[in-house]
Structures are given as C-alpha cells and as structure tokens.
Copies of this chain bind each other. A is one copy, B any other.
Amino acid sequence: MITIATDDQFAGRGGTDPFERVVSRLNKFEPLGVVEASGLRRAVRRSALLQPYTELMRDTSREVTLLLTGMACQFRLMDNGRRQITGIIVPGDIFDFAFLAGNEPLGHFMTTTNSQVGRISARSYLALAEEHQSLMRATLRAAATASAIAHERVISLGSRVAVERVAHFICEMWHRLDVVGLVSAGNTYDVHLTQAELGDALGLSTVHVNRTLQVLRREMVVNWKQGRVTIENLLRLHELAGFDACYLNPAMPSD
C-alpha cells in the first residue's frame, strides 16, 4: 500500500517508536522516572496493523489499551439506527480508564483508519502505578483530562450551533494532535474522519456538516478536505469556537 508513505504516523520523526508518544504524553501530566517508563515499554504488546473500521474486541476489560498510531473512536449504536460517536482517540491516548475502577469499559471502540494499538495487562499496569506514584498521578490526570473532554462535548452539543461546534472540534483536535507532534507546519493535520463521522460525533447530519465546512472554507478559516485539515486562520477559528484550551491542560494547584 503506497499510502503508508504519506501517513506521517508511520514515517514518524526519524523513525521514533510510536510508543514513545504514550510516554511523552504521560510525562506531560506528571514527569515519569526512567524505571516506570521502561517498565511500561517492556510490558506493552503491539498489535498488528489494524484496518480501518476494526472494532476493538471487548477482551480489553483486563487490558489497558493504548493507541500508538492512526485514529480511533468510541461510539454507541442507537436503536433508531443512528450512531453517536462519543469520543475520538488520538495517538498516545489510553482508550478507556474503566480499568482504574476495575470496571468493564462501556461502549464500543473502533479504528477509523489504519492504526496500531498497544496493550498492557491491567494487572501489570496497576502494579507498576502502585509502585511508582508518578505513573499513578500521570494516569489519574490523563483520566481527568478525558473526563474534561467529555464534559466539553456536553457543552458543545448542548449549547453551540453547528459552526461553533465544528470549529470547536477542529480546535480541540488541533491541540490534542499538536501535543503528540502530529500537526505539521502550515497548521495541517489528518483527522482520518469522514464528514459523516464528524456528523455522528457532533450530532449533526452529514449534509449539514458539509455545508458548515463550506462556510469555514469560504471564509478562509479552515480547509477540511478528505480528512486533511488545514487551519488558515487559527485566531479566527478560536474566536468562532469560543475555545479555551484550559480543559486540556489541567491546572495543578501550586503546591
């Protein structure tokens, strides 16, 4: 498959192991020592390359699942046939934090593009976190951020109109992908999402998503073309969305 070459996750930055994204991500929540970092590195098992639209099996209940490359989402199929995407998972993310409470994850997960995941047994992960409190804190902060993202989505769906909602989503993805080095020069990134999927995530019909994206394109704010997003006016985009990044970077009370 030739497209792999254009897929910057696989190219990496000079061949960096995608697992390092997870470590550097956790590091941003709480600095990890070398011991716990290498402990994780040793414990992780990498999946084969997963096709787009592969559902992640529910055997994840006893495993911590990480997205290494590609893109994934959590979703629910409704009785009326609608599909609600409740969250987007980007490289470096832990799919679900239910393992912290010893619970089964609710909902389903699937890749939206070629992806690779890593798995660590929940038991080893928790043992490591128990031993190294820095890992525990990093994990709890990551979980808190995941909650904050869900919270912010409630606000989007509840009280933003289509343009604001789409703009907010694009801002959020920009910030989240930027942290893991997946925004390239010229403010371009790949969401690996179709307009229909964006609609399912934002509670909008495909047609309305399309028209909304056209407005943003016409106004020279952002150009979403075949899942490749180019932000042409970041400031204007933030204004339109009423975006405040603080929910992505949890404030820690000064100790």
Contact = CB atoms under 8 A, between A and B. Distances in A.
A110 interface: no
Interface in A73-109: 76, 78-80, 82, 84, 86-87, 97-98, 100-104, 106-107
Contact of A157 (B80, B104, B158): B158
B150 A154 contact: yes
A16 interface: no
A250 interface: yes
Interface stretch (A34-42, A136-144, A169-177): A136-144
Which 8 residue pairs are nearest across A and B when measured between Cβ atoms?
A: A158-B203, A157-B157, A101-B144, A101-B140, A103-B250, A101-B141, A84-B159, A150-B150
Q: Which of A82, A101, A151 has the most CB of B within 10 A?
A: A101
Contacts of A206: none
Interface SS of chain A: helix, strand, loop or mixed? helix
Contact of A154 (B86, B103, B242, B247): B86
Contacts of A185: none
Contacts of A84: 154-155, 158-159
A5 interface: no
Given A78-B242, A150-B147, A150-B150, A250 B158 contact: no
A119 interface: no
A46 interface: no
B155 A86 contact: yes
A21 interface: no
A36 B78 CA distance: 41
Contacts of A153: 154
A37 B111 CA distance: 43
